Structure 1
Amino acid sequence: MAEIIAIANQKGGVGKTTTAVNLAASLAVLKKRVLLIDMDPQGNATMGSGVQKNDLLYSITDVLLGEVPISTAIYQSEVGYKVLGSNRDLAGVELAIADQDGREYILRNALEEVAANFDYIIVDCAPSLSLITVNALAAVKGVIIPMQCEYYALEGLADLTQTIDKIQQALNPDLEIVGVVRTMYDARNALTRDVSAELEQYFGPKLYETVVPRNVRLAEAPAHGLPIIYFEKSSKGAIAYLHLAAELLKKAKKAKGK
């Protein structure tokens, strides 16, 4: 049965989609069966996986509206993992399902059909607390939070942890933060080091040892529709995400062994 993990942060520009795409690709390189679900109407995770969002025959929108089974809407990307894509059509879904019974659990129920086919299901959430994001958080067991080490990111983190607590209490008692990953990391910056120390003190072992550095090639890869490991496998960004995937697997193995 798949480990289902959301990549979430209510603050934009922290490397959320970059982490979702590159963690999915790195897990696939490490021989794991991976599904990446794009729950953001911008469709950036879809495009970053080499799937054209405007050419989708079916998308996450059709699944949430109950128009097709989830297996019909999943595409095999050319970069080693499968994709349930998104585009602007997703923006209108919230109104369409607002009065539906069990609206918060649509994704969770849909995933029951395919969860046994994957080792990891990675859900890229939009940087907002919408009914769509609530659907994602109600469907997963773990949340990975990408964090840029700056002051305003800490404020956004407090909001996100409160949101996770509320959803845990109201909708999904199994929900927990499984990890925090530092992105766009520059050790030469004093503020970066200070914020990093605060994160270490607050999250302890949930703070991943792996840090994702600022990396030009990592920023260029989405324009080519490729995860960094397929765009420039020797780059610092590619190496960092491989290390992150390995650390995730190591922690998961350790947790199962308890």
Structure 2
Amino acid sequence: MAHLPELPRVLALANQKGGVGKTTTAINLGTALAAIGEEVLIVDLDPQGNASTGLGIDRKSRKISTYDVLVGDARLHEALVETAVPRLTVAPSTLDNLGVELEIASSNDRAFRLRKAIADHAELVARDVAGRHKHFTYVLIDCPPSLNLLTINALSASHSILVPLQCEFFALEGLSQLLSTVEQVRRGLNPELTIHGIVLTMYDGRNNLSAQVVQDVRTHMGDTVYETVIPRNVRVSEAPSYGKPALLYDLKCSGSQAYLKLASEIIQRERRFRAVAA
């Protein structure tokens, strides 16, 4: 996929394991990037729609969803919903996404529906002299916790993948399967896909196992692992039930501060990537 100047940077947040903090990271990283001046779109591909709910988008407001975009019934800009966070927009998900695979499985472009939708939106923005459509600098795709056609669409559309990894015993075991899938996508669908980084989540400083997992993952994955570690934090867990990112619910809590640090680290990494590419 060509890196056209008007295209946003597209990052897929993926891990085939559930409960690793993927959606929490999408919501709060998106909020943190918006807080430091980026124009951010979160594309919710998980049929559970937790990223949409966590950003305060109730189900009645999701008249057009990512399902409609993927099956070709709507364009991306028609699905966009503003959030309470300035510069943060969401393309919401509904349970309809459970049926995407059946709807598009026989189509030749089934793995590239999302890539085309994002590229079409960038083209719409480029032609939009009236400024009616937002130019996003970052698109974060919240993937379902499985390696299905929704996730394949996300990986095919992305420049890089960001992997949330819970500080638990089987963390590395699940990671190897995901890295294998990324390599397959790189070979067959998206040769430019890279691993942006691995973010360690739900770290408990009182737990020796957490510290051991951090050490093991850093030993195996080296600089791929972000310096920032996301702590297990009650305020971050509470925030979605209020339809708010943690940064709006409690900016000063340790979890919110960690996501601000992660956003800064991602921007720094992006600058290095662009310098190397240049």
Shorter-normalised TM-score: what interval?
A: over 0.9
Q: Which runs of 5+ in 2 are unaligned?
A: 1-6, 126-134
Aligned twin of 1:222: 240
Q: How many equivalent pairs are there? A: 258
Distance apart, 1:153 and its partner CA: 1.9
Secondary structure of the residue that 1:127 maps to in structure 2?
coil
Is contact 1:71-1:113 (8 Å) kept?
no
Matching residue within 107, 128, 139 for 1:100: 107
Is contact 1:54-1:87 (8 Å) kept?
no
Q: Which runs of 5+ in 1 are unaligned?
A: none
Alpha-carbon separation, structure 2, partners of 1:248 and 1:28 = 13
Name the aligned partner's letter for residue 95 of structure 1. L
Matching residue within 169, 182, 195 for 1:177: 195
Distance apart, 1:55 and its partner CA: 2.9
Is contact 1:11-1:153 (8 Å) kept?
no
Alpha-carbon separation, structure 2, partners of 1:159 and 1:30 = 34
Is contact 1:21-1:48 (8 Å) kept?
yes
Report 1:1-258 matches (<5 A): 1-80=7-86, 81-115=88-122, 117-258=135-276
Distance apart, 1:188 and its partner CA: 2.6
Larger displacement relative to structure 2 (244-253 or 147-156)? 147-156
Name the aligned partner's letter for residue 109 of structure 1. K
Is contact 2:34-2:40 (8 Å) kept?
yes
Alpha-carbon separation, structure 2, partners of 1:229 and 1:104 = 34
Q: How many percent of aligned residue pairs carry the same amino acid?
A: 43
Larger displacement relative to structure 2 (73-82 or 35-44)? 73-82
Alpha-carbon separation, structure 1, partners of 2:189 and 2:59 = 30
* TM-score of the aligned structures, taking structure 1 as reference length: 0.97
TM-align CA RMSD: 1.1
Name the aligned partner's letter for residue 261 of structure 2. H
Superposition misfits of 4+ residues, deviation over 6 angstroms:
none
Name the aligned partner's letter for residue 51 of structure 1. I
